[in-house]
Amino acid sequence: MACGNKENILTYLDSIIMIFLASLYAVSIYMTVGQLIVHRDAKILSSVPVKWLTAIFVTGDIIAFLIGIAVSGTKNAMTTREHITTCGLTV
C-alpha cells in the first residue's frame, strides 16, 4: 500500500472499524445467550459455565481482532488479515 494513496488507507480503516463493530455485536449476542440460559434455568445444559461465557468468547474475539490487525502490509497480507479476523469471529 502506497502512503500517498488515501483511498486504500480509508478502505483499510473502514474494514477495521466494521470488523470492530461486528465484534461488539457478537459481544451483545454472548451476553444475551448468557441471560437466556440464566432466565430459562438451563445452566446444567450449557457446555460453558454462564459466568465465563462472555469472558471466554470476548477474549477469543479480541485475540482474533488483534492478530488480524497485526497482519498488514501487502494486499495479500490484508486479505489474510480479513480471513483470520473473520474466522476468529465465526468461531
Mean of pLDDT over the chain: 77
Is 22 domain-assigned?
Answer: yes
Q: What is the reported pLDDT for 2?
A: 45
Phi-psi region of 41 (alpha: psi -120 to 50; beta: other; left: phi over 0): left
Residue 66: C-alpha distances to residues 19, 25, 62, 63, 86 (Å): 11, 17, 6, 5, 12
Three-state DSSP class for residue 5: coil
Pairwise pLDDT comparison (74 vs 15), residue with the higher score: 15
Decide if pLDDT at 77 tops 50. Answer: yes
Is 19 domain-assigned?
Answer: yes
Is 85 domain-assigned?
Answer: yes
Greatest alpha-carbon pair distance for the chain in Å reads 57
CB 35 within 8 A of CB 53: no
Give 31-55 pLDDT, tens digit per residue: 899 999 999 999 888 888 888 888 8
| Structural domain span for residue 64 | 6-90
Domain count, the chain: 1
pTM: 0.59
Is 1 domain-assigned?
Answer: no
